[in-house]
Every structure is written in structure tokens, then in C-alpha cells.
């Protein structure tokens, strides 16, 4: 028998809030079954859904964007600091040579 997951289990597995999992289930965007007033999910269905969604690749792309943005921001900040230091050095040199 397949393992059955609760909304809380799926939320933890996907790093989502339980409310988001409820909404996805209600809209039919995630494989779920309703048992009375409760939503239940099977591990196999969730794994298949994740594979079909390409979550790993999307997560990798997202993290790459964040990393690139962080590096670019740091590089731009460093470049501004270098430009400022060069300008200050030129100013001091100009005063010393006048």
C-alpha cells in the first residue's frame, strides 16, 4: 500500500505553507483526493507530479538567478568603491603636484 500524506506532510515536503497546498488541491493543480473534509496525497502521485513540473530544474534556475544577481550586485558595489578610491587618489595626487 502506498504511503498517504496529509496537507502538513506535503507542505513540509514542498516547503510551502499548508494554505498553499490546500489551494493547489482545491484547484486540482496537485494530485489529491478528498476524504470527507480532509485532503490526502499519495507519495507516488506527488513524486510523479514533481517530476512532471520540473521543480528541480526550476529551483536550480531560480538559485542561479539569485546567485548571479548577488554576484553582480557585489561586483557593481566593488566597482563603485574602486572608482571612488581611484578618484580620491587622483584628487590627492593632483593637490600634491600643484
Residue-wise pLDDT for 16-40, tens only, equals: 999 999 999 999 888 999 999 999 9
Which residues fall within 8 angstroms of residue 33, CB to CB, at 6 or more apart? 39, 40, 41
Mean pLDDT of the chain: 81
Mean pLDDT of 41-57: 80
User: End-to-end CA distance of the chain, in Å?
Assistant: 88
Residue-wise pLDDT for 83-92, tens only, equals: 777 777 777 6
Strands of the sheet containing 38-42, edge to edge, are 4-5, 38-42, 33-35
Domain ranges in the chain?
A: 1-53, 54-98
Give the span between the Cα atoms of 2 and 8, in whole angstroms: 17
* 32, 39 Cβ separation under 8 angstroms: yes
Amino acid at each position: 500500500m502506498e504511503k498517504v500524506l496529509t496537507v502538513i506532510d506535503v507542505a513540509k515536503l514542498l516547503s510551502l505553507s499548508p494554505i498553499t497546498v490546500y489551494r493547489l488541491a482545491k484547484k486540482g493543480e496537485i494530485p489529491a483526493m478528498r476524504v470527507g473534509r480532509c485532503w490526502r496525497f499519495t507519495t507516488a502521485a506527488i513524486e510523479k507530479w514533481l517530476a512532471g513540473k520540473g521543480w528541480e530544474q526550476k529551483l536550480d534556475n531560480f538559485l542561479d538567478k539569485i546567485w548571479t544577481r548577488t554576484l553582480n550586485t557585489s561586483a557593481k558595489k566593488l566597482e563603485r568603491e574602486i572608482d571612488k578610491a581611484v578618484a580620491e587618489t587622483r584628487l590627492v595626487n593632483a593637490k600634491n603636484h600643484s
